[in-house]
Structure 1
Amino acid sequence: MELLMLEGASISFSQRSNQTWEPDRPVFFIIQGLSSLGEMKMVLFVIFLLGYLVILGGNSMILFVTLSDSRLTSPMYFFLQNLSFVDLVYTTTTIPNMLAGFLMDRLTISIPGCFLQMYCFHQLAVTGRAILTVMAYDRYLAVCNPLRYTAIMTRSVRMLLVTGAWSFGLFCTLPPTAVAYLRPYCGPNMVRHGWCDLSSVRTLVCADTSMDNVMSLSFAMVALLTTGVLILTSYFLIAASMYRMGVAERLKAFSTCAAHLTVVSISYSAASFVYISYRVGNFSSEVRIIVSVLYSALTPFLNPMIYSLRNKELRMAIRRTLVCFRPAAMSTVKAIST
């Protein structure tokens, strides 16, 4: 009954001269989330909150260290800064809103806020993959053209590559989001997802959305195939170059690419698993939401750990930063105690 009242409250009606009734656009959407899980909600709330704090802490540390340590001047760390920033904003777009849904009976979001969240989520997802593609090109240059690496990867080139990554995300996500926003919404306003997901919101459209589905699928395929093919091409050329190297050079080249290759493998494997499971398995909406959250948080959660473990230079920089903070923290404690 409460749900029906909320849904009914979101739709206003205007009476025309011919005495027919036509619904207007809803003023807000209701995010279903995981409201049907009962006591399990608090368990998931704690798990997702801890995971989100790790994402914030790990990526913030990467950002701070790469920006403040003068020894980390390689172009790789510039791209890693951008990747950590994207991961921070990407998870902040959805997880805090979803955590709020655990603590509320009904989570609502305005129509503009819903589509802003939708655009940011999808745009940052594509931009993250584009930055991984740029990093693959960077690794290709470092392995295959080490003598010209510094001359090619200048500051202007780095800025151009990162701008291209953000522009690619804009190109692939703005048209489907804009079309979805302009569609008529006149019926139910319950979004059966943890946030304003494009496919979930589209089910609420009061019109034929077959062309919308084709357009969204086309842009999604462009985003995935373009980045995937470019990354595979970069690593194919790297592998061909490594084949002609000696054992010592081969090991050094592999260590140069290990962290990025691990991140790319996890990211695309998780995406493939989610895509296949959505179309093969007959899962409930709650299971789909949990899978979506885990998928969207997996790479931002693991990225700082992978790069810290695989990159000795970065690991040493983090250690130096923590050592510098320790005396400051001790002096602060002593000042408070006195």
Structure 2
Amino acid sequence: MSALTWIASVSLAAWVCLLLGQARFWRTDIRLPPAGVPDEWPAVAVVVPARDEADVLPLSLPGLLAQRYPGRAEVFLVDDGSTDGTGELARRIASQRPPHGLPLTVTSPGEPEPGWTGKLWALRHGMALARERTGAAYLLLTDADIAHAPDSLRDLVGAASGARLDLLSQMARLRADSAWERLIVPAFVYFFAQLYPFGRVNRPRSRTAAAAGGCVLLRSEAAERAGIPESIRGAVIDDVTLARAVKRAGGGRIWLGLADGVESVRPYDRLPQLWRMVARSAYAQLGNSPLVLLGTVAGLTLVYLVPPVTALAGSPVGAAAWAVMALTYVPMLRYYRQPPWHAPALPVTAALYLLMTLDSAVRHHRGQGAAWKGRTYA
């Protein structure tokens, strides 16, 4: 057997292992659990951390304020040191909400104390204010660029109540309109699901935990039990860290799936925007470890780059590995309303992600860390 066939065979074996042993990560039918109908709908506080979000608030905040929720709910937008008039714009939008709309409070916590990331500092302030004013049983932590369908809050609370969940998170459908978004965004969610298979996350006895930070419904009791957000105050990848903290604190039950009525309105029309989105936290995901980075580079090369290279060199084994890869990607492309014939191009996207991860490591070692909207974290 030639060296080419040996290498292709190892890659194919890796794909067989992923296909059979990674909790069917390619599935895109994991949606909200069956909803319950509480005798009395619990109070909910919606906390929105916002830093320089004036461009997206007109697309996201009106839908959040217009939620059709049977119980008491209130929105707290935390203006995290914005310089573009985010807070004032939010107040103007709230003044135009429909009569049945949710009330909005805009507040600002000042600059983060040492050891806190900006988003978690904003959440700390918003959650404390929400507890003081509402005594809410649930907290919906949602980003300023996330647009919610009119019944989103009702559906989230109903599902969490029916399944008795401590944390319920939906992976918002990201925008995939521009050519670069269509190439990179579906793969972003595909890679996330491969790393944190939703089916495994949702098993109560599984140690795998993850959440999608754009839409997290958190039971207030679970937040207090896990010490949220103080216990995760320095986390750059705050959503996954939050889910781990909840799952480990008294065996908290969590759930993660894809969304239908929760969408991101933030545009990433150009490659540099998408590059920064990935590179700012990719190395942190690897624990800022050069050894783990080396293993990641080797793994990405073996799994995603070897199949097309060996297939184009004439190896049928490499072609088989490439075919398996493409087939597992098709459901995610369909979820993002993209044609399935884009699937064989996944190695191109994987190569870009590999370069973004290397760039993330370079930035870290230059002292730039995870940079986002004027702040840099070690």
TM-score, normalized by the shorter chain, greater than 0.5: no
Indicate the structure (1 or 2) with the bigger Cα radius of gyration.
1
Q: Which has the higher helix share?
A: 1
Q: Which has the higher strand share?
A: 2
| TM-score (normalised: structure 1) | 0.26
| TM-score (normalised: structure 2) | 0.24
